[in-house]
Amino acid sequence: MFRPTRWTRFIPLALAAVLAAGAASQVQAAPPPDRKAAAEQAGELIQLLRVKTPAEADRKRLAALDLDLAESAGPGYTDVVAYGNSDRRLLQLAGFTWSTLEDDLVGADRDREKADAAYAQAVRNKTVAVALPSGRTAYRQLADYDNDLGSLSQQYPTKAKLFTLKEKSLEGRTIRGLEITHNVGTSDGKPVFLMVGLHHAREWPSGELTIEFAYDLLKNDGTDTRITNILEKSRVIVVPVVNPDGFSLSRSLGYELKRKNCRVTNGQIPTAGQCAQSSYRSRGVDLNRNYSGFWGGPGASSSLTSETYRGASAFSEPESRNIQALVSQYQVTTLITNHTYSNLVLREPGYAGAPITPDESIHKALGDQMAAQNGYTSQFSYQLYDTTGVTEDWSYYATGGLGFTFEHGTNSFHPAFSTVVNMYPGNRAAYLLAAESTINPARHSIITGAAPAGAVLRLKKSFTTKTWNGTQLPDTLDTTMTVPAGGTYTWHTNPSTRPAVVQQGGTESWTLTCERPAGQVQETRPITVARGATATANLTC
């Protein structure tokens, strides 16, 4: 599909020809002016527009313009962030009409800052009660996330473990998460619920809700019986900030609308400060288009300056590889990735025309139950718009772990902080349901049996994940647990057969090995286990 470069936008003739013909552009020119910087320099407004898209064809035509779709769409409309006059002209030329939701997004951010300060003051004055588990009254900065994760692990050493993701961000930042469960230091085979935030830098509530849930679990363990049960029977892992480079930029005045990561040039590490330079404002990889599942398909762009740029190759970015490595290293049986906005609970498939998944009934049941708690709409992801290379496009199809995207909020990427406070109770209830579903053996698989205490069991599977153009990329899931003192084990896992293979009527196995004590493999056997089923493997290693 043709996607106009920013340069072609400044050549109305070429643009008109392209719009008419839909042909690929051959324009090779000097570096294009960055459209965001250009709009800013010209003093033009950045606006949030609700564009009329009554038919599916209109939505497709709008997507082809490669504007910054604000990721909100409903019956008959799609929201667009328009950077200055050139974006509005492009819409006009293409025959679209719209209403203006926010006529000055930058100004709205300034107003939000004021409202947030007033809210914090009201809490200090005790005219408004503290409402979040952490007691916060304003959006965190990046350093606050790091400090809070660190303090939680210190405050609750037996049930919260701080960990570092495999790779640093492109700008060299360490990315951290927290594992939360009773006896957190023991590798005990509990099912894992992973919740992440801030793939997209400007979607600040997605990080806040993720870390607040961690506070909630830790503070209320022992008093709230649901939470006590969850921490006894599952392992909750949170990674509130997947994209720290983008987030730290978005939290700086004047960069609030940054969405992507800091990949300024394909294959190159950005130099210090480069990501913030005005000529590179539009560059970066959309981490939520960089996963290998269906990578390169519809709803993702091949242009570095597009808001949905998929990257030079699948998993080209350290920040998305981090989540891949984490999910490959644990039996993540439920995943929620938090985003803003649109008040949606989304489940696979992610593009129109893809087959309904073999897990549709449980995906729908859980999605609907969660949406009943937070008041959102539960739907297929493609009903919002087509996407490929998204987190669950890989995690669900590679592991069989159930996966959901939550889109929080009505009409803003980061509304007034008091709105986040109001979002929390309903989402808390939804997250608790996700955690309880993680425990439910009907929704995952179990491998159980006798084995020598202290032996390390390993479940491994190697396969390939197909990108949109058919390239097969190697994938390995490799997880371990330690057999407890009693000499029997129960391992809550994902099914051995991937969803697409289930769909074709095939089966796959895990390779189960027993290792002791210094890593020698003493026994190896294949294990085939379906969702909702239990397989027994007594090991004598």
Residues binding ligand 0X9 (CB under 6 A): 71, 200, 203, 288, 339, 346, 348, 350, 381, 387, 390, 392-393, 405, 407
By the criterion CB under 5 A, which residues form the site for Zn ion?
200, 203, 339
Give min distance, CB of 238 to Zn ion, in A: 17
Give 64 or 541: the residue with its C-beta nearer to ligand 0X9.
64
Long-range contacts made by residues 464-469, C-beta under 8 angstroms, separation at least 24?
Answer: 465/292, 465/293, 465/394, 465/397, 465/398, 466/294, 467/292, 467/294, 467/295, 467/296, 467/297, 467/314, 468/294, 468/295, 468/296, 468/297, 468/388, 469/296
For residues 80-119, one letter each, b for 16 or more C-beta atoms within 10 angstroms of the residue's C-beta and e for the rest, the string is bbbbbebbbebbeebebebeebbeebeebbeebbeebeeb
Give 340 or 445: the residue with its C-beta nearer to Zn ion.
340
Give 9 or 339: the residue with its C-beta nearer to Zn ion.
339
Give min distance, CB of 541 to ligand 0X9, in A: 41
Give min distance, CB of 214 to ligand 0X9, in A: 21
Give 137 or 337: the residue with its C-beta nearer to ligand 0X9.
337
* Contact predicate 334/420, CB 8 Å: no
**The entry of ligand 0X9, Zn ion, none that residue 146 binds, CB within 5 to 8 Å by partner kind:** none
Give 81 or 456: the residue with its C-beta nearer to ligand 0X9.
81
**The entry of ligand 0X9, Zn ion, none that residue 398 binds, CB within 5 to 8 Å by partner kind:** none
Bond from prior residue into 341 cis (ω within 30 degrees of 0): yes
Give min distance, CB of 183 to ligand 0X9, in A: 33
Q: State in Å, rounded, how far the first CA of the chain is from the last one.
A: 56
Torsion of CA 227, 232, 233, 234, to 10 degrees: 70
Pairing status of strand 77-83 against strand 176-180 = unpaired
Can you tell me the distance from the alpha carbon of 520 to that of 536, in angstroms, rounded to the nearest whole number? 22
**The entry of Zn ion, ligand 0X9, none that residue 405 binds, CB within 5 to 8 Å by partner kind:** ligand 0X9
**The entry of ligand 0X9, Zn ion, none that residue 307 binds, CB within 5 to 8 Å by partner kind:** none
Give 344 or 447: the residue with its C-beta nearer to Zn ion.
344
Give min distance, CB of 350 to ligand 0X9, in A: 3
Give min distance, CB of 23 to ligand 0X9, in A: 27
Give min distance, CB of 482 to ligand 0X9, in A: 34
Tokens of 223: 């008093």
Give 212 or 348: the residue with its C-beta nearer to ligand 0X9.
348
**The entry of Zn ion, ligand 0X9, none that residue 134 binds, CB within 5 to 8 Å by partner kind:** none
Give 190 or 408: the residue with its C-beta nearer to Zn ion.
408
Can you tell me the distance from the alpha carbon of 263 to that of 245, in angstroms, rounded to the nearest whole number? 10
3-state secondary structure 274-317: HHHCHHHCCCCCCHHHCCCCCCCCCCCECCCCCCCECCCCCCCC
**The entry of Zn ion, ligand 0X9, none that residue 346 binds, CB within 5 to 8 Å by partner kind:** ligand 0X9
Give min distance, CB of 241 to ligand 0X9, in A: 15
* DSSP code per residue over 396-411: HHHH--EEEEEEE-SS
